[in-house]
Chains A and B, each alone.
Chain A
């Protein structure tokens, strides 16, 4: 189906179902219950899940397949965002041109950066990409302020030209839309004490993400994808087998840059604003964390990683010591305080600490990330039949 083999098609189907039902799956707890704070089914966060999923899928095409570790991918995301916001200011609040232009601009920019950076490999490549990204960030903050809005960033203003849109009604603010469907609009559905939100923006982003995911499966399974894995495995052999590694890696770099641009464009489509901090090197580091955490070089891993990190960032960080105290109220007082003190550094504002620790543990013990962890557990319980269980990348680069 769709040119995929059975296993990949099943994976795509599974992801599609999960994404479509996310408003239910992520909101398992009734409103007002003590567990409601673990609900992640609100539009803002769900959008972030899929958008960062796209970012990570694209990054994985470069790092997962070729092994070239870029520390500057946030630059492409940022450039895509700026391109998208300018489309919204000049052309129309419809997200379609914004997203298309963001991909194209990011693609052109990554072609330039990749063409230079790929002259070197190993850590030199990482440093070159980092240098380019930091330069873009610094320039966006300072000299390029007329284009980037500097520290304040950019938002669509009421009096922007927007040549394709009619003039706004008095007092109306420009809102991102898809042929009239506003990205911010939601349908709420309450069942008993549960509340489910279906957000237009989320579903638009989700469809784009599924397309991006589908394309990445096709790339993984194509001869092109195999060549990229060959680059990672043994570049010398590749050269002496009559293949020129450079255009392959450059193509991978540009594709992943375009994915980043797409993610940037979608971000703007959702919240219609950009700031230079989106390009800071820690943002590049974040996508590295996502890919590794989920399982680098696997298809679904980066999406899982992006989801896990965004969940921690938004949910884990909201837990404070009062909440902890209510959880452990059943313990004797002294013990309760002790347990709370023990856990407290890892939650709330300290969620980065948890992230850092988990990340280290994954790099040390579980190089295949969450996907490998899942496979190990599956094997442990032996639930899956042998035929469907693929031990990491023997014939295919795992799921």
Chain B
């Protein structure tokens, strides 16, 4: 039994069958990559996991509980955090405030009307946020406006914000898309470090094979809305079907 169990999930948009019949099991404390050519249904699948889309058929279980029909914030509170393709952070807020919000969400739940205490006086939260900033190596940027940071740092902050919630499953949607090589390598190192230091399951959707093969322990190849194969990275590399469906064109794409 994996921590995430996807069974017979299908999703149709009008005439387009985006997901056919997806079965997927992500084992706890592993890094599981989902790859596939453009239009293979990777993002649709991810959106079905986090509550943005509701699949037409099938079931999605997280840690033995169904996520279907729950709102994104409820699914997040269950322990699934998501990193977006373009970093989604609170641009108008300071870096520290960005980090404080997930800390509040973790401690106080989806809504707490705490309107009459000063947020900076909540030492527990401020300390926890500062701790996370140190861990993310961005304590110096504490008071900067988050929107002014480089893309690489925004990504770092976003990952940090997700980690601050101590999720059991971290979903990453092409975390290095549009990044320079140096930033990509930094992100890989960061993710490796997270994987080594924490009890966390990571599921990653990625185009860049370099990223995938540096991190993943299991890989699922998705093509035209259905899983083609699922195996270890070494076996995937040599798999003829995968070469045909994907790797041939990924050299240009990457």
Q: Which residues of A contact B (CB under 8 A)?
A: 3-5, 218-219, 221-227, 229-230, 232-234, 236-245, 247-248, 251, 393-395
A221 to B119, CA, bound (A): 6
Interface pick from B17-25, B71-79, B207-215, B243-251: B71-79
Contact of B90 among A223, A233, A242 (CB under 8 A): A233
Contact of B94 among A222, A248, A395 (CB under 8 A): A395
Contact of B143 among A233, A236, A251, A394 (CB under 8 A): A394
Give the residues in chain B near A222, CB-CB below 8 Å. 114-119
Interface residues of B in 79-114 (CB under 8 A from A): 81-82, 84, 88-94, 96-97, 100-102, 104-106, 109-114
A-B contact count (CB 8 A): 121
A244 to B108, CA, bound (A): 12
Q: Closest CB-CB distance, A310 to chain B, in whole Å? A: 29
Q: Are A224 and B89 in contact (CB under 8 A)?
A: no
Q: Closest CB-CB distance, A65 to chain B, in whole Å? A: 10
Q: Which chain A residue has the least Cβ–Cβ distance from B142? A: A395
Q: Contacts A221-B120, A242-B106, A243-B101; is A234 near B115 (CB within 8 Å)?
A: no
A248 to B88, CA, bound (A): 20
Q: Which chain B residue has the least Cβ–Cβ distance from A396? A: B94
Contact of B101 among A218, A238, A244, A251 (CB under 8 A): A238
Q: Which residues of B contact A (CB under 8 A)?
A: 50, 71-73, 76-77, 81-82, 84, 88-94, 96-97, 100-102, 104-106, 109-122, 125, 143-145, 161, 165
Q: Contacts A5-B120, A236-B88, A242-B165; is A251 near B113 (CB within 8 Å)?
A: yes
Q: Contacts A230-B101, A239-B71, A241-B101; is A223 near B92 (CB within 8 Å)?
A: no
Give the residues in chain A near B114, CB-CB below 8 Å. 222-224
21 residue pairs A–B, Cβ–Cβ below 8 Å: A3-B121, A222-B114, A223-B125, A224-B112, A226-B93, A230-B93, A232-B92, A233-B93, A234-B91, A236-B84, A238-B73, A239-B76, A241-B76, A241-B105, A241-B161, A242-B105, A243-B73, A244-B73, A244-B111, A251-B113, A395-B96
Give the residues in chain B near A244, CB-CB below 8 Å. 71, 73, 110-111
Q: Are A223 and B73 in contact (CB under 8 A)?
A: no
A224 to B114, CA, bound (A): 6
Contact of B73 among A4, A219, A225, A242 (CB under 8 A): A242
Q: Closest CB-CB distance, A255 to chain B, in whole Å? A: 8
Q: Are B110 and A242 in contact (CB under 8 A)?
A: yes
Contact of A225 among B50, B115, B121 (CB under 8 A): B115
Q: Are A223 and B91 in contact (CB under 8 A)?
A: no
| Most B CB within 10 A of own CB, among A247, A251, A395 | A395
Q: Are B110 and A240 in contact (CB under 8 A)?
A: no
Contact of A219 among B84, B94, B115 (CB under 8 A): B115
Q: Contacts A242-B73, A243-B110, A394-B145; is A237 near B89 (CB within 8 Å)?
A: yes
Give the residues in chain B near A395, CB-CB below 8 Å. 94, 96-97, 143
Q: Which chain A residue has the least Cβ–Cβ distance from B125? A: A223
Q: Which chain B residue has the least Cβ–Cβ distance from A222? A: B115
Q: Are A240 and B89 in contact (CB under 8 A)?
A: no
Give the residues in chain B near A224, CB-CB below 8 Å. 112-115
Q: Contacts A223-B112, A226-B97, A394-B144; is A234 near B76 (CB within 8 Å)?
A: no
Give the residues in chain B near A223, CB-CB below 8 Å. 100, 104, 112, 114, 117, 119, 122, 125
Give the residues in chain B near A243, CB-CB below 8 Å. 73, 101, 104-105, 110-111
A366 to B199, CA, bound (A): 49
Contact of B111 among A5, A232, A237, A247 (CB under 8 A): A247
A221 to B161, CA, bound (A): 21
A233 to B82, CA, bound (A): 18
Q: Closest CB-CB distance, B120 to chain A, in whole Å? A: 7
Q: Which chain B residue has the least Cβ–Cβ distance from A219? A: B115
Q: Closest CB-CB distance, B41 to chain A, in whole Å? A: 20
Give the residues in chain A near B122, CB-CB below 8 Å. 223
